[in-house]
Structure 1
Amino acid sequence: MSKRTEIALSEDETLGFVGGQRKLQLGTINPDGTPHMVTMFYVVVDGKIAFWTYRSSQKARNIARDPRVTCLIESGEEYFELAGVLIYGRAEVLTEPNDVLYVGREVVRKMTGLEDEEAVTAFAEVTAAKRYAYLVEPGRVASWDHSKMAGQ
């Protein structure tokens, strides 16, 4: 068995890891073919990565032109603490205002830790009209947990 296989997360571990984090690195493709990388707050909706962004942002323009994306979710500081999930997929844009607001509320709730539904909605509504939401349909997934190597 290879080291790569030994440190891979199981499906349950992957789901727990992705659901337990708040931020990811989102990679989209610029018009000239170079990667465009940004940090995004996200949530999981129906088993898919969900985020929202301003309609005029570079990432929104990139996704409109080419929906292929890469999402990197990671944790850890020291080598044997490093863990992560890399998701290669396609982003589906949600433009219907209720869908955008739903994703926005969920992202705001996770991002801020607010529990007051009125406060979450008020915060999300301020910018929802200028945003689109996105769901990432995963294609290929890679994962690692270096703590599985500790003590070997």
Structure 2
Amino acid sequence: MKQRARIAMSDDDVTAFLEGSRKLQLATINPDGTPHLVTMFYGLDSGHIAFWTYAKAQKARNLARDPRVSCLVEVGESYDELRGVLLYGEAKQVHDRAHVMAVGMLVARRTNPGVPDDLLRPYVETTGLKRVAYVVERTKVVSWDHRRLT
């Protein structure tokens, strides 16, 4: 068996990994074609990566022009500990305000584990007035778990 096949995660492993993580590296495409890479907290909306950002952010402007994204979630300090998932896809903007707020709550819960919703909701409702939300439709998934090499 080739090494690539040995380290690839199953679909269930990918799901569990994404459920257990909180932040990702999001790459969008700048007007000049260069990548725009930022760290984002995310939530899972029916199993899909979901995030929100300020409407005037560079990533939002990039996504309005070209919705293609790469999302990298990775953990591990040494080579033999590295685990990660790289998702390619399209970020679909959420237009329904209630859904935007729901994405905000998904993200807020992950960034503030254990904080009750009634304490998170005022922040989400206030900051959400200037935010847009996206749900990533996957087109390709690449994964690795180097712990399988030992």
TM-score (norm 2): 0.98
Question: Match of 1:147?
Answer: 147
TM-score (norm 1): 0.96
> Are 1:30 and 2:11 counterparts?
no
| Higher deviation after alignment, 83-92 or 119-128 | 119-128
Deviation at 1:113, TM superposition (A): 1.3
Question: Match of 2:65?
Answer: 65
Question: Match of 2:43?
Answer: 43
Q: What letter matches 2:94 in structure 1?
A: L
Q: What letter matches 1:2 in structure 2?
A: K
Corresponding residue SS for 1:18:
helix
Corresponding residue SS for 1:129:
helix
Which aligned pairs between 1:123-134 and structure 2 lie closer than 5 A? 123-134=123-134
Deviation at 1:114, TM superposition (A): 3.9
Deviation at 1:121, TM superposition (A): 0.3
Alpha-carbon distance between aligned partners in 1 of 2:105 and 2:12, rounded to the nearest angstrom: 26
Runs of 4+ in 1 over 6 A off after TM superposition: none
Ranges in structure 2 where 5+ consecutive residues have no aligned partner: none
Give CA deviations for 1:90-124 in whole Å, capped at 9, x if unaligned.
00001221111110011001101143121110121
Contact 1:109 1:115 in 2 (8 A): yes
Contact 1:114 1:120 in 2 (8 A): no
Which aligned pairs between 1:71-86 and structure 2 lie closer than 5 A? 71-86=71-86
